[in-house]
Amino acid sequence: MQDPIDPVKLDRLAEVAVRVGLNLQPGQDLVLTAPVGALPLVRRIAEHAYKAGAGLVTPILSDDQVTLARYAQARDDSFDAAAGWLFDGMAAAYDKGAARLAIAGGDPMLLSEQDPDKVARANRAMAMAYSGARDRITRFATNWTIVAWPDAAWARLVSPELSAHDAQRRLAEAIFAASRVEDDGAVENWLSHNAELGRRSAWLDGQNFSALQYSGPGTDLTIGLADGHKWVAGATQTTSGILCNPNIPTEEVFTTPHRLRVSGTVCATKPLSHQGTLIENIAVRFEEGRIVEAKATKGEAVLQKVLDTDEGARRLGEVALVPHGSPISQSGMLFYNTLFDENAASHIALGQCYSTCFHGGDKMDTDEVARRGGNASAIHIDWMIGSGQIDIDGISQSGERVPVMRKGEWA
């Protein structure tokens, strides 16, 4: 029987992850997190990392069954525990110059049958313990990237109608296509894709819009943009000057909205898969940047819990534009995974903003980011509001309208 995962494309994905995603520098150490099932990809990445001159590659592998053992057996106060020692160690590694690669692709429904309160507490404890390491990632204090592994359980969720073998094959091929590693010359193809994304972000930066206005079915939304916001796409430069691609794949052009200047209503155009729960048909209303009303036809309790995480969880930290014709959108697949689904459609994110989405953001402290309208939160959750029926106008600083997207495509 044929391997459901094409070994040639898998090796290309590893090479793209190291050379484009990380742009790993000779002598850099690498901290690599992955679900244990992704071991074949971990091994390919380790090989390409050492070929690129890595110092030491340290894989940190997680196992879904160990996680489930916790939910099945642990006493109640376990759910407030987190591995702070490990995350603080990672932060120390980044400070000493280590790069960071995350392989996404565990079972998205892993915790769907567990007590939501325990899940929420465990996530909160994790988010707090992770804050130091996350801070270095969001500041691009080091080069980092995320790539995906076609996990068997994830594949079953995406294609329940197929056999296990065919489902994994379909997901693997979709990941390879979205990650632009189908053909030879993948590294070079990525460089031209980056250049195209760079042209879009440069145009938007030149416009320096005050706000974006969205209209479409159930959506009439104005998103003010932060003062001195910068549009970012594709490759990002670290504070030490390394150009990395933090997401493989990436199709979005995104910036920081103003946390106080968002108003109107918006409907999600795709379900949001959040830690095992599918939240469907989200509809929210903003006043002065804050979500004052939120509904969903399914998973609403989980959504409300997310919004109650902290004050910043009800405000926006990202606005992103993705053309409806992007390869991931055209695949028609729902991946139940933000890395892919957020590149299938224009989206917004609740929670923490990226200080890199400001001109001169690398030199701003959190007060300065807040003063310019940047949002702060323990969460960052993307959800899709784009489709082939959405029009977006830019509102210039002098109040004029400039078409940005029409029916989901660049105007």
Q: Is the CB of 47 or the CB of 182 nearer to a copy of itself? A: 47
Query: Residue 363 interacts with a copy of itself (CB under 8 A)?
Result: no
| Phi-psi category of residue 234: left, alpha or beta, with phi > 0 → left and psi -120 to 50 → alpha | left
Query: Residue 61 interacts with a copy of itself (CB under 8 A)?
Result: yes
CA-wise closest residue to 111 among 301, 277, 306 = 277
CB of 191 to a copy of itself, least distance (A): 23
Give dist(CA 188, CA 32) in Å, integer. 24
Find the binder of a copy of itself among 25, 58, 237, 331 (CB under 8 A). 58
Binding mask 338-377 for Zn ion (x = CB under 5 A): ----x------x----------------------------
Query: Residue 318 interacts with Zn ion (CB under 5 A)?
Result: yes
CA-wise closest residue to 100 among 151, 50, 34, 37 = 34
Query: Residue 115 interacts with a copy of itself (CB under 8 A)?
Result: no
- The region of 25-33, 231-239, 369-377, 383-391 touching a copy of itself under the rule CB under 8 A is 25-33
Query: Residue 320 interacts with Zn ion (CB under 5 A)?
Result: yes
Please give the full DSSP string across 382-393, using - where no structure is assigned.
EEE---TT-EEE
Residue with tokens 């769907």: 112
Q: Kindly identify the residues of this chain, within the stretch 86-105, that bind a copy of itself according to CB under 8 A.
A: 86, 88-90, 92-93, 96, 98
Sign, CA dihedral 364-367-372-375, equals: positive
Query: Residue 65 interacts with a copy of itself (CB under 8 A)?
Result: yes
Residue type, 340: F
Give dist(CA 371, CA 362) in Å, integer. 15
User: Which of a copy of itself, Zn ion, none has residue 241 at its interface (CB below 5 to 8 Å by kind)?
Assistant: none
Q: Is the CB of 39 or the CB of 162 nearer to a copy of itself? A: 39
Query: Residue 370 interacts with a copy of itself (CB under 8 A)?
Result: no
Helices (H) and strands (E) in the chain, counts: 13, 21
Q: Is 348:316 a contact under the CB 8 Å cutoff?
A: yes
Query: Residue 15 interacts with a copy of itself (CB under 8 A)?
Result: no
Please give the full DSSP string across 272-315, using - where no structure is assigned.
EEETTEEEBS-EEEEETTEEEEEE-SBSHHHHHHHHTSSGGGGS
| DSSP H or E stretch at residue 101 | strand 99-104
Residues in contact with a copy of itself by the rule CB under 8 A: 26-27, 29, 31, 36, 39, 42-43, 46-47, 50-51, 53-63, 65-66, 69-70, 72-75, 77-78, 81-83, 85-86, 88-90, 92-93, 96, 98
Residues in contact with Zn ion by the rule CB under 5 A: 252, 318, 320, 342, 349, 382
